[in-house]
Amino acid sequence: MDLDSEIMSKLQEVIDLLKEDYGVPVVDGREEPLDSLIQVILSQNTNDTNRDRAYQRLTERFDTPEDIMKADVREVADAISVAGLHNIKAKRIQECLKEIEERRGGLDLSFLEEMGTEEAKKWLRRLPGIGPKSAAVVLNFTFGRETFPVDTHVFRVSKRLGLIPEYSTRERAHKLLEGIVPGPRKQEFHINLIRHGRRICKARKPLCSECILKKKCDFYKERN
Ligand code: SF4
């Protein structure tokens, strides 16, 4: 078997093993793309609970995205303080909203649905602070596009498994994984890899002896 076929076969087995253990995640309905974008900014360097709390407080404090955009940045930062890095995130949210208004004449991203995936990705990535992961999250979770977001857990676990080269950058990992993970299973695999990274394949001390993927894992094989 050549290297590409080996990786493809390992990938398919890993996707299936994770599904056996974690199931197929159920994602509640579709979000509005602008809400998703704001949540993605809030989620940087924090957990889902604090992201959700920050988003709830933000939407309780401000009635509309226009109000968030026009508010004193300190008020926005205060509303989202639970998410951490709140001064940076408040500034980034306002900059994104201003940029969207300038480019579109209003605060609405539903037009992205009409665009091809690559074009929509490029449009989002021209917003301040929006990288490949954030763009992929917005497009996958709001429009069901077959993008594959690579966050810190996905990146770490994929590297240890040997699905991407050891010295791959995050940017490169996006391209590689998006190209090989089967379209309809991208969201499932993304979520299950995050679950596995949080529960078993932890950054500092991976619990390899308990891991259902160890027979497929380069990191494990090198050490055993
Ligand atoms: S065997 Fe260890 S390093 Fe490999 S995926 Fe499992 S926990 Fe992570």
Q: What is the pLDDT of residues 19-41, one digit of tens each?
A: 999 999 888 767 789 999 999 99
**Same structural domain, 87 and 119:** yes
CB contact set of 185 (below 8 Å; sequence gap of 6+): 15
**Same structural domain, 43 and 22:** no
**Same structural domain, 115 and 172:** no
**Substitution candidate for ligand 1 out of 11, 18, 152, 157 with most atoms within 8 A of CB:** 157
The span from the CA of 217 to the CA of 44, in Å, is: 28
**Same structural domain, 128 and 216:** no
pLDDT the model gives residue 1: 63
**Same structural domain, 139 and 172:** no
pLDDT tens per residue across span 209-224 = 999 999 999 999 999 9
In the block, which residue shows the tokens 């299950």?
A: 192
Determine the distance separating the centroid of ligand 1 and the alpha carbon of 2, expressed in angstroms: 23
Task: Quote the domain boundaries for residue 174.
Answer: 3-26+149-223
Among the listed residues 152, 149, 144, 141, the one whose alpha carbon sits nearest the alpha carbon of residue 35: 141
Q: Which of 92, 117, 143 is a domain's end point?
A: 143
**Substitution candidate for ligand 1 out of 217, 218, 221, 223 with most atoms within 8 A of CB:** 217
**Same structural domain, 72 and 9:** no
**pLDDT band at residue 2, thresholds of 50, 70 and 90?**
confident
What does pTM read for this prediction?
Answer: 0.91
At residue 16, the 3 state secondary structure works out as helix
**Same structural domain, 84 and 108:** yes
> Structural domain tally of the chain?
2
**Same structural domain, 93 and 154:** no
Identify the residue whose C-alpha is closest to ligand 1 atom 4: 217
CB of residue 162 inside a 6 A radius of ligand 1: no
- Ligand 1 atom index nearest CA of 160: 3
pLDDT the model gives residue 73: 97
The burial of 106, by beta-carbon neighbours within 10 Å (0-12 exposed, 13-18 middle, 19 or more buried), is given as exposed
At residue 147, the 3 state secondary structure works out as coil
The span from the CA of 14 to the CA of 7, in Å, is: 10
pLDDT the model gives residue 31: 79
The burial of 199, by beta-carbon neighbours within 10 Å (0-12 exposed, 13-18 middle, 19 or more buried), is given as middle
Q: What is the mean pLDDT of residues 125-134?
A: 95
DSSP 8-state code for residue 163: S
- Ligand 1 atom index nearest CA of 213: 6
